[in-house]
Structure 1
Amino acid sequence: MDQALFVFVTVADKGSFTRTAEELHMTQPAVSQYIAALERTTGTKLLERTNKYVRLTKAGYIVYHHAKEIIGQYTRMQALIDDLMHIASGPISIGASYTFGEYVLPHAIARLSERYPLIQPTITIGNTREIAEAILNHEIDVGIIEGEYEDKKLLIEPFAEDVMEIVVAKNHRLSSEEDIAARALESETWIVRETGSGTREAADRMFSGLRLHPRKLMEFGSTQIIKESVEAGLGITLLSQWAIRKESALGTLRTIRVKGTPITRQFSLVTGATPFHTKAAQLFIELLRETRWTASTEL
């Protein structure tokens, strides 16, 4: 790999030639020489440098974006080569959308660590769209998303079903009702996730399927905040059974039955369109495929 690219990315990330020299255990003049060589190669200035700051130029932003991708691809290539000679070990970067990431993934990581203690996972949590984009940008090795998502540049494989139910506070007027009509929910305040979230996509699909037109929507960017808000009586919501396991057991949240519910969706594996994965990534993928993931199962 071109060392100049690595030095350049480090300067951009650190915002300093001095801190880069300290990080890479080299002299500051050596850092400057690498940057100058890269600028000669590209034929343009890549950094604006003063006594107060170091900033990327417009050309620098382009080189930085592609350099990050090149470094990521080189690292993955080296990991694949190393896997041919060693037992399962090393880093794996996993991205997951909120429901799976916060309520299911910890159980998966525990199983992975029990079987392969030398594998070192790092976790990124985001909504479905963000995780898919992270795979495309080579920022993570494996992604798990919720609901429906399509991109020809990605391999998307459903591996588990998620059940979603309408959730209310324990003292809500509908908490003890049976056979509730959808129209009875139109006057309720619905608390939903942001656009791009798999949970929001499921809620919108439910509204359409039930011909339900909520008069008031509140949009929150966190499942935990939604649960707290429903418990406080602020509104009702649609959430995965995984997300409300503890609250259901404690009785602070209840589910209600409406014709056309519960709603089901898929948890799906997302990887780049390549047949090659590190051993750590392949073992994690196999673990997800072989496990029966249901919210009613004690893990």
Structure 2
Amino acid sequence: MDVLHLTLRQLQIFVAVARSGSTTAAAEAIALSQSATSAALQELERLLSLRLFDRVGKRLLLNDNGRALLPRAEALLAGAGDIERLAQDSDAQRAALRIGASLTVADHGVPAVLAAFLGDRPRAAPHWQTTVTVGNTAQICGLVAAHALDIGLIEGPHHDASLVAQPWLEDELVVVGTPAVATTQGSTLADLAEAVWLLRETGSATREISDQALAPRIGPYRRRIELGSNAALRQAALAGLGLACLSRRVVAEDLARGQLQTVAAPLPRISRQWHWVLQAGRQPTPALAALIALLPTLAQTDGPPP
């Protein structure tokens, strides 16, 4: 006897026949033809050189050999199931992602990205594990470089040679204030030079892009208030504290309602590219590769909603 020729399928069929008492019922239970079930059972008995059942009419009843084999076969099948579950757990681990996002992307991009990603993988959703770490662009790039994050989704340029980056979405920035502030502090470039500026902190991509666009035209900020989030800037602008340069996505509803308006001063269009960043040389997992492949398709459909 060469036990290496035994298969789990044969043992599964044996257990099904033992429980049901016939090859016909067993075949229905395991979605196999009756002839294939009978053939597999006969092959198992041949390999073992043992009869496992007594034939009584149309019934198959376990004999002593079959009763001795049954618990061992059930144990082997249970062990195989444990191995399959281990593989599924490994798949779940490979499906887990540690995502970092800068503030604008976290608020106005990540929810749409995750919804589209999981929508394409309904069977993966129950096992999906992900964390989203939010910070400014410099912080997220630092965490990706330190291998604390699998991928960073950032809204501006990065300056770390250990990272690779690709753009995936264009984002427009606008200078806004309440109607009164936008009129009194934003009608001309001279007005902008004297305005109170509501600014993100150093290290923020929003701050870097706005500085690059504004400094050549209005010089250094004479009056400024620095705040650490887009939400705080938006609320400060709504409160009439000054002018803010923010993603149009952040203030779209306020502009539509007339609570904020763009300034009339002659400024160029201010835009930037959202990028994904990875450690250079990293081989993406299947889940990470799928996420990266999804990002350009969102941009082609106008991206996450403004």
| Range into which the TM-score falls when normalised by the shorter chain | 0.5 to 0.7
Query: In percent, how many aligned pairs have the same letter?
Result: 29
Instruction: Name the aligned partner's letter for residue 98 of structure 1.
Output: L
Which residues in structure 2 correspond to 1:93-172 (within 5 Å)?
93-117=98-122, 118=124, 119-172=128-181
Which residues in structure 2 correspond to 1:23-38 (within 5 Å)?
none
- 1:251 aligns to 2:262 (yes or no): no
Which residues in structure 2 correspond to 1:10-25 (within 5 Å)?
none
1:104-158 CA-partner distances (Å, limit 9, x unpaired): 2111111112112423321111001100011011111110112222222111111
Q: How far 1:248 moved relative to its partner? A: 2.0
Q: How far 1:246 moved relative to its partner? A: 2.2
RMSD over equivalenced CA pairs, Å? 2.7
Instruction: Name the aligned partner's letter for residue 239 of structure 2.
Output: A
Which segments of 5 or more consecutive residues in structure 2 lack a partner in the other structure?
1-86
Q: What secondary structure sits across from 1:144 in the alignment?
A: strand
Separation of aligned partners in 2, 1:244 and 1:292: 20
Residues 297 and 289 of structure 1, relative CA distance in 2, 3 Å threshold: closer
Residues 277 and 186 of structure 1, relative CA distance in 2, 3 Å threshold: same
Aligned residue number for residue 30 of structure 1: none
Query: What's the TM-score once normalised by structure 1's chain length?
Result: 0.65
- 1:289 aligns to 2:296 (yes or no): yes
Separation of aligned partners in 2, 1:275 and 1:200: 29
Residues 98 and 295 of structure 1, relative CA distance in 2, 3 Å threshold: farther
Question: Any conservation in 2 of the 1:175–1:255 contact (CA below 8 Å)?
Answer: no
Question: Any conservation in 1 of the 2:166–2:275 contact (CA below 8 Å)?
Answer: yes
Structure 1 runs, 4 residues or longer, greater than 4 Å off: 85-89, 293-299
Q: How far 1:207 moved relative to its partner? A: 2.3
Aligned residue number for residue 203 of structure 1: 210
Separation of aligned partners in 2, 1:219 and 1:206: 18
Query: What's the TM-score once normalised by structure 2's chain length?
Result: 0.64
Separation of aligned partners in 2, 1:296 and 1:145: 14
Question: Any conservation in 1 of the 2:156–2:206 contact (CA below 8 Å)?
Answer: yes
Question: Any conservation in 2 of the 1:175–1:254 contact (CA below 8 Å)?
Answer: no
Instruction: Compare CA radii of gyration and give the structure with the larger one.
Output: 2
Instruction: Name the aligned partner's letter for residue 105 of structure 2.
Output: F
Which segments of 5 or more consecutive residues in structure 1 lack a partner in the other structure?
1-81
Instruction: Name the aligned partner's letter for residue 156 of structure 1.
Output: A
